[in-house]
Chain A
Amino acid sequence: MNLFSLANFLILNAFLLTLMLEAGTAVLLLAGKGYKERLKRYVMPMWEIGGTFLVFFIVNLEVTYPKLIGVAGYIYILPALAIAALLLFRNAFISYSGYISSEKDEGRYLKVYAAATLLITIITAATLASVLTGAGADIANNTLNITAMFLNAAGITAILGLLIISVIFGYLFYRGDAVMKPVLSAVVFLLLLGIEYHFYPRVLGSMSLLQYMNNSAISGDAALITVVMGSFLSVALAYFIYIVYIKNEQAY
């Protein structure tokens, strides 16, 4: 695995981490089991950061594997547009919920947000699994069999795995006595995924991921931009999290 794939993979992980936290939150919101105030306080900035990481991942994917876009864009048009549409829907509801004064409506809006987020998680898990294994994808005809994409061993385990980890992650996170444990468990999960990915850098079942790599001069400059801008924004993000969470936590 080279450095560019590693960067792309790390960004995917950052997105998956926020998605897992959101999916965990979504399940807790739908189950309606307490922690509502805490949920609201954490979910508010989290959904926006998750969304930005998704865009970051997609554009980085375009930079790193431009030729994959030509293939995957065709095959995965349905799940990709479905995720995009659900995102629009979900962002609308979560932002409305913050500006609605009635408690009852707010709860309802949050539930819609939660349902949309869970759907996004499920579709994302199945799509990622299918991109790796090629389940449901017919490369010769550029088509996708949706049922086959979801209903195969890799798809089902990816969905269940992501959901189970999300729920435990969310539950431990919001119980609040130990923030480190759930974060660590998620990191371990992502590391395992990374090791698997390292030995299996293939997409669509048998194609080598490397054949889609960008071989133009773009890569070097893009790497420089990633490092410079990425560091600047990480500092900004850390500062913001410090103000909102740590200082806020002390005030409680």
Chain B
Amino acid sequence: MDILGFDRGLMGFSLGVHIILAVLGIAIPLIILISEILWRRTWDKTYRILARRLSVALAVIFAIGTASGMLVAIELAVLWPKFMALVSQVAILPFYVEVFAFFGESIFLAAYLYSAYRGSESSNARIVFMAIVAVCAALSGVLITMINAFMNTPVGFNIPEYIATGNVTGVQPLAAFATPSTATEVLHVISSSYFAGAFILLAYFAYMLLKSDETTREYYKKVVMVLIIVEIFATALTVFSGIQSISALYHIQPEKYAAIEGDMVPQAYAPEYIGGIPVNGKLEYYIAIPGLQSLLATGSVSGTVPGLSQFPNDTWPPLFVHSLFDPMVGSGFLIGFFLMVLVLLLVLKRRPLDNRIILWLTVLAGLLAVFVLEAGWIMAEVGRQPWIIYNVMTVASAANYSPSVIPIGIAIIVFYIAAVPSAALVIRRFFKNRPLKDELVK
């Protein structure tokens, strides 16, 4: 493999792992905050125990996530030095504010943990501390997404002059906070972070409910209920913002849009292609739903959608993004449908949480949610190729070609592979030594 490929692989792998820690780091504070508020409202011990136990998991995930975040920050600078040199002169402010959000998160998480284990049972301070942690965690996601939006729709400097001469002029420092793609992208990233993060927890607690006995069953049921309610909002928002994002692509990144939808030639009355494999520059073996794509993208079945043939061959993204798009959307809708059924059963008082099949399906939905998250992320990043900054800088021209990256890159991959399962193991061991039963009886 060449060094560029290795740089790409290392960055992709690091982000792929980091994203799981990140969504948990964004979702768990919200769940803890809700539990703290419920505890103060109902004085039901379940919620206090949930908050305390989740905060241990959060502390471990935060520690690994912090290190992984530093790793990604350092990787950005050393794997893509030319990219960071431009971002630093044009769009660094979101990144810079993010450091403070991260600072705030670490200080107030420490304050929360301190208060949770040493402070009074009914302290209101804990709600404030966790609220700040939750806001800062979400804000970190928002600010980093702003950099990603800048990569998709660069603004805030004289682009023609930069391409012609390499000089950075006409910088507007605040432009990076609101590029044309920022709003839709931020909404989709944040809602899908809550969606995926809470689903990982939901899958875990549904599994624990399956394994529970008389003493712990009620606890797990209440926790699962809280998570289902969070999921209803998060899933709805994710689907809504997802449709927004793909429609936005139609305007701002037509190549990416065409590659994702599998459109080889521009056409009116475009069908939505489901499945299909690109063969010799043509999509084959697909199912087409007439007019749907034009309707979704343009608001009318007669609308024209772009096709890859409009663009030079060397700016086409890899065509496999279409093969990721279908399973991602399909799984997302499957999960949404499952949630709707679940809510209907709850409303009809059919006690779905006593049904083992439904609980197993919930665990399965959690795994699917992680798949949707990763597939969506890979699709979004690979769909921008060959650009690192759309129409300004290619990945190949930004990369670091020093061969030193290979040995240390392999070490990082090995560390990552070890760090995540060992974090899970430590959390598990901690809970094993402090059984839920003892806390419930206390």
| Residues of A in contact with B (beta carbons under 8 Å apart) | 45, 48-49, 51-52, 54-56, 58-60, 62-63, 66-67, 69-74, 76-78, 80-85, 87-92, 94-96, 98-101, 142-144, 214, 216-218, 220-222, 225, 229-230, 232-233, 236-237, 240, 243-244
C-alpha spacing A45/B110, complex, angstroms: 7
User: B412 contacts A69, CB within 8 Å?
Assistant: no
Indicate whether B310 reaches chain A with its CB closer than 8 angstroms.
no
Main secondary structure of the interface of B (DSSP, over half): helix
C-alpha spacing A232/B172, complex, angstroms: 26
Contact of A63 (CB < 8 Å), options: B63, B69, B96, B402: B96
Note all chain A residues with C-beta closer than 8 A to B73: 55, 58-59
Q: Smallest CB-CB separation from B101: which chain A residue?
A: A229
User: B415 contacts A59, CB within 8 Å?
Assistant: no
Residue among A58, A71, A218 with most chain B CB within 10 A: A218
User: B99 contacts A56, CB within 8 Å?
Assistant: yes
Indicate whether B405 reaches chain A with its CB closer than 8 angstroms.
yes
C-alpha spacing A222/B171, complex, angstroms: 13
User: B88 contacts A217, CB within 8 Å?
Assistant: no
A244 to chain B, nearest CB (A): 6
C-alpha spacing A37/B316, complex, angstroms: 60
Note all chain B residues with C-beta closer than 8 A to A95: 59-60, 63-64, 426
User: A73 contacts B427, CB within 8 Å?
Assistant: no
Indicate whether B37 reaches chain A with its CB closer than 8 angstroms.
no
- Whether A243 contacts B93 in the complex (CB less than 8 A), given A69-B88, A76-B78, A142-B402, comes out as no
Could you tell me which residues of chain B, from 408 to 442, have a CB within 8 Å of some CB in chain A?
Answer: 408-409, 411-412, 415-416, 419, 422-423, 426-427, 429-430, 433
Indicate whether B75 reaches chain A with its CB closer than 8 angstroms.
yes
Some 10 contacts from A to B, beta carbons below 8 A apart, are: A48-B63, A83-B74, A84-B70, A85-B415, A98-B59, A99-B426, A216-B157, A218-B93, A220-B173, A233-B104
Indicate whether B85 reaches chain A with its CB closer than 8 angstroms.
yes
Note all chain B residues with C-beta closer than 8 A to A56: 99, 103
- Whether A85 contacts B70 in the complex (CB less than 8 A), given A70-B81, A221-B93, comes out as no
C-alpha spacing A70/B398, complex, angstroms: 9
User: B409 contacts A81, CB within 8 Å?
Assistant: yes
- Whether A85 contacts B173 in the complex (CB less than 8 A), given A66-B84, A229-B97, comes out as no
Give 5 new A-B contacts, CB below 8 A, not counting A67-B85, A69-B81, A92-B423.
A84-B71, A88-B64, A94-B63, A142-B402, A232-B100
Note all chain B residues with C-beta closer than 8 A to A71: 81
B136 to chain A, nearest CB (A): 11
C-alpha spacing A87/B111, complex, angstroms: 23
User: B402 contacts A59, CB within 8 Å?
Assistant: no
- Whether A81 contacts B75 in the complex (CB less than 8 A), given A74-B400, A91-B67, comes out as yes
C-alpha spacing A81/B400, complex, angstroms: 13
Note all chain A residues with C-beta closer than 8 A to B111: 240, 243
C-alpha spacing A67/B106, complex, angstroms: 30
Note all chain B residues with C-beta closer than 8 A to A85: 71, 408, 411-412, 415
- Whether A92 contacts B419 in the complex (CB less than 8 A), given A55-B69, A73-B77, A216-B173, comes out as yes
Note all chain A residues with C-beta closer than 8 A to B173: 216-218, 220-222
Q: Smallest CB-CB separation from A226: which chain B residue?
A: B96
Indicate whether B358 reaches chain A with its CB closer than 8 angstroms.
no
Note all chain A residues with C-beta closer than 8 A to B168: 216
User: A77 contacts B103, CB within 8 Å?
Assistant: no
User: B107 contacts A233, CB within 8 Å?
Assistant: yes
Give the top 6 A-B pairs by smallest Cβ distance, nearest first. Answer: A66-B88, A73-B81, A95-B63, A91-B67, A216-B171, A70-B85
C-alpha spacing A225/B95, complex, angstroms: 12
Note all chain A residues with C-beta closer than 8 A to B87: 62, 66
C-alpha spacing A78/B406, complex, angstroms: 9
- Whether A100 contacts B426 in the complex (CB less than 8 A), given A67-B85, A85-B411, comes out as yes
